[in-house]
Structure 1
Amino acid sequence: MDWGTAQLLIEAARGLLLVESERLEDLLRRSDECLAPLSDPLDTDFGLHRWLESAREESYSDWLEWIVRQVERPDLVFRLFGIRPPDDVSEWLGLAPEMLQREVPVAMGEEGRAGRLDLIVRYRDRASIVIEVKLTRTDVAATKKQKGYKSSVEAEVGPGLKPSFVLLALDSEEPFVEGFEVRRWRDFCLALRRMIPGLRRRKGVVPACMALAFAGAVEQNVLELPSQPLKKIKAGRLIDLAESISYLEEFLNGMGEL
């Protein structure tokens, strides 16, 4: 390739980046309006944070427990994890989780060994949710132990209560893995973002701010969306904005659902 051709390609890329950056700027402005008085977390660099910077699933599970404790309402917790709520959920919206616990011991995990559940949420005798956390795709994550987890929980609760089993993961080719329904981190974060205005009204600015920061940290550290994209472009960096644009469009299009 000669230099003239290379220059044409560079100029074409810059032109596309200009169009995309203008689109992203508009989406971020609209997102700020939806989240006000907070602002979109993609404008903050959470890659520098040590909250969730490491690949330790335990850190994410600890934060998940806190998030569920703030969201609290059963219908919203079901929505957060992509679970169809029980038909009578409207009758017990004011019910807080009776059990919200990390590292719950169970009789079976990997073959021949006991295990520990990442997180369990229980609304008395109404509903029970078991959540396992993975930061990668399910095809490269250790998921065999989920089968034992499911058997242990079902044996413990008995036939009267049918628990929901959720596997939070980056992505999956299958909707269910070892009996756990897969919930992508992308969909979880989009749902959490949409709950921020209501959370601010119910619990105040600080809990809403911390929940939104968690979403932002996951978006940048797990989903690998670029932080402060407009700032980086203005500094002369060439970055791919397509995924960020798609993500924010999906977020804004779903704001009317709540």
Structure 2
Amino acid sequence: MNEGMCQLKIGFIGAGNMAFGIAQGILTSGKVPPTNIIVSAPSMNNLPRFQERGVSVTRSNEEVVENSRVVFLAVKPHLIPKVLNEIYQYVTQEHIIVSMAAGVTLATLEELLPVDTCLIRIMPNLPCILMEGALLLACGSRAGQDVESLLKDLLSPCGLVETGPEHWIDAHTGLSGSGVAFVYVFAEALADGAVKMGMPSTLARRIAAQTILGAGVLLRDTGKLPAELKAEVCTPGGTTIHGLHALEKGGFRAAAMGAVEAATERARELGKK
């Protein structure tokens, strides 16, 4: 276990799937012991799964801040002002506040927290639960290279961790945060197509899932462009090019681009609110 990391105290305000996914990744990596993590939520509904991993739980957000150096804000965007008002007096310059709230900008967070608070925004996605997530990280003005490196090291077990300017966060929300659901719709449609052609639905779902998984691994690990891999599957006059033609006639590509755009715009709207 990393000597510095094993002493790190981590807190989560909010106990939903994203908080659990990140906590799961951190714990599975062994970088931080469960005794160094504390999670708060207004009810006990989501807390037992954290307790099962040896993590401390509480109903008090203030207790989380007082017992942590890195504090993840894992609540819905509209709850951020209320939560930050609760913890304001407990936040010090030693804290690193990490917001996962879609659309809530660093500027807004800075207005709601003490001057010179160290802030970072991240946007994870659901596969973090399986340590196969995609996270984008944007640093506030007081988060230097040392803080960025600490967070990347801490979060790396959750999957791919990239850094970039804050204005990329909303696009990442549309691409990866919401994009997971878009992939599930595509998987469902693939399986339904096979069912229409006579395959049992249970088998069709399993094959659709494995098809998407295999395609994703190839795309990630070969370094090839999607168009290159697509060309490797297509043969002149073959089954794949006929299927792709059907997708194009249905406006598949435009619909996918529109879905990312719509989700991105919604994230921006949430930030304005």
- Class of the TM-score when normalised by the shorter of the 2 chains: 0.3 to 0.5
Q: Which has the higher contact order (CA 8 A, sep 6+)?
A: 1
Higher helix share: 2
